[in-house]
Amino acid sequence: MKDLSQEIRSSNTHEALGKDNKKLNAMLHCKCPVCKEGDMFKTSALNMSKFNELNKNCKECGFDFMPEPGFYQISMFFTYMVGVAIFVVFGFLTYLVFNDPPLWVYYVTIFIPTILSTPWNLRYSKVVMLYFFGDIGEGQ
Ligand SMILES: [Zn+2]
């Protein structure tokens, strides 16, 4: 009896882990939070002029990627937090690796990663916003 309950518990854990993995994978690939198939963005992150443009609806299930006007304005806080984290991490690494170099070295080693990560930073901020604050239904 005890083995059976343990087995049930572990299979539920595996299901939950599988569901979390699917959600994480969908987030990583910027897919629709409901069906996890349709693309959220019109182009890839490498398209410098349109990397941040969302599709209006999911092409697979029709989910509206704009739940309400101005929904993504709060995502700028995520963008800011990630930007500050990049700034702090690369600043600290520069200090450690180059043994407190001149100021211009900090400019180069902090601003280049910050600028290069901007498309992904902006896109994943929207993804996080939609997955955690969008009305995507129960059990998603
Ligand atoms: Zn969808």
- Tens of pLDDT along 107-118? 999 999 999 999
Whether residue 62 lies inside any domain: the answer is yes
Which range marks the domain in which residue 11 is found? 2-133
Å from CA of 43 to ligand 1 middle: 16
Where does the chain show beta strands of DSSP type E?
none
Å from CA of 32 to ligand 1 middle: 4
Residues 54 and 114: their CA atoms lie apart, in Å, by 22
Whether residue 94 lies inside any domain: the answer is yes
Whether residue 67 lies inside any domain: the answer is yes
State yes or no: pLDDT of 122 exceeds 90: yes
Residue 94: per-residue pLDDT: 95
Whether residue 97 lies inside any domain: the answer is yes
Whether residue 138 lies inside any domain: the answer is no
Å from CA of 136 to ligand 1 middle: 10
For the chain, what percentages of helix, strand and coil (3-state, to nearest 5) are there? Answer: 60, 5, 35
Whether residue 92 lies inside any domain: the answer is yes
Query: What residues have a C-beta under 5 A from ligand 1, the ion?
Result: 32, 34-35, 38, 58, 60-61, 63
Q: What percent of the chain has pLDDT over 90?
A: 69
Helix (H, G, I), strand (E, B) or coil at 48: coil
- Number of folded domains in the chain? 1
User: Any idea what the Cα angle at residue 86 is, between residues 106 and 45, rounded to 5°?
Assistant: 115
Å from CA of 107 to ligand 1 middle: 41
By C-alpha distance, which of 77, 82, 76 is closest to 113? 82
- What is the value of pTM for the model shown? 0.78
pLDDT band at 92 (very low <50, low <70, confident <90, very high): very high
Å from CA of 66 to ligand 1 middle: 13
Whether residue 24 lies inside any domain: the answer is yes
Å from CA of 40 to ligand 1 middle: 9
Q: Residues of 68-94 as b/e, b for ≥16 C-beta within 10 angstroms?
A: eeebbeebeebbeebbeebeeebeeeb
Å from CA of 35 to ligand 1 middle: 4
Å from CA of 78 to ligand 1 middle: 23
Å from CA of 121 to ligand 1 middle: 22
- Residue 75 phi, psi dihedral angles, 5° rounding: -65, -15
Whether residue 140 lies inside any domain: the answer is no
